Amino acid sequence: MLRILPILLLLVLAAAPTDAGAEPREYRLDPVHSRVLFAVEHLGLSRALGTFSAPRGWLRFDPEDWTSARGEVELDLGTLDLGDAGWNRRLARRDAFDSTRHPRARWKVERIEPRGADRFDAHGVLEFRGGTYPLTLAVRFNGLRRHPLTLRQTAGFSAHARLSRRALGLSAWSSMVGDAVDLEVEVEATRDRKAMRRYREEMEHAAPQQP
């Protein structure tokens, strides 16, 4: 009987109603269960697919009032994976992502436009290759529940957007590679009262040393 009690406790906590909705609360991105995928046309024959892994950042939201939501997501461009090491290195060069001089991309939410109970447009600014660009993500809120293993409140989101390579200063190989880039974003974020401070500390620690 004593061995069964911890299991029953986990099940009860996992099924317990969330305490969402009282006020905006902070969440930290889970880098293991979050990823960014992009797709771009190649020679009119297929769509080349690539991913960026382990995004970091924070979210602050109340599911009953999306207009108050804010957040920031940062990608390490070195996590690029096109399925080929040679092409990964090629896109790191200066005429592509220029990831030696600009190793990270950052997107910051500036305004939320609700589209329903579980959908909204997140209008923000993308910092990429030394420039800033408007970028709006169409977001679906997948839910908020207590994780059965960590016992922490965990939120899930799926998002997509379409942007122009030329608008980002990426005009190389225009005869072979399409201009429209489709983004697909999957995010899980864990309740963390110190999410913003921890995120900034992580970024400062990860910053490359200046020569």
Tokens 């110190």, located at residue: 194
Per-residue pLDDT tens digits for 128-162: 999 999 999 999 999 999 988 888 899 999 999 99
For the cut 90, the answer to whether the pLDDT of residue 105 exceeds it is yes
Average pLDDT over residues 104-122: 96
Closest CA to 144 of 43, 24, 8, 6: 24
**Predicted pLDDT of residue 206:** 63
Tell me the pLDDT of the chain averaged across its residues: 86
**Predicted pLDDT of residue 182:** 97
Domains of the chain, first to last: 22-206 (2.40.128.110)
Spatial separation of the C-alpha atoms in residues 106 and 126, rounded to whole Å: 6
Q: What pTM value is reported for the model?
A: 0.81
Q: Following CA atoms 111, 117, 119, 121 in sequence, which dihedral angle do they give, to the nearest 10 degrees?
A: -20
Q: Please, which pLDDT band fits residue 203 given cuts at 50, 70 and 90?
A: low
Instruction: Output the CA–CA distances (angstroms, integers) from residue 113 to 70, 84, 122, 193, in the order listed.
Output: 12, 38, 6, 25
Residues contacting 76, CB < 8 A, separation 6+:
52, 54, 103, 104, 206
What are the start-end ranges of the E strands in 14-118? 25-29, 35-42, 46-53, 56-61, 70-76, 104-114
Average pLDDT over residues 30-50: 96
**Predicted pLDDT of residue 156:** 97
**Predicted pLDDT of residue 175:** 87
For the cut 90, the answer to whether the pLDDT of residue 198 exceeds it is no
Amino acid identity at 184? E
**Predicted pLDDT of residue 98:** 93
Q: Please, which pLDDT band fits residue 193 given cuts at 50, 70 and 90?
A: confident
- Could you tell me if 136 and 164 are in contact, meaning their C-beta atoms sit under 8 angstroms apart? no
Q: Please, which pLDDT band fits residue 208 given cuts at 50, 70 and 90?
A: low
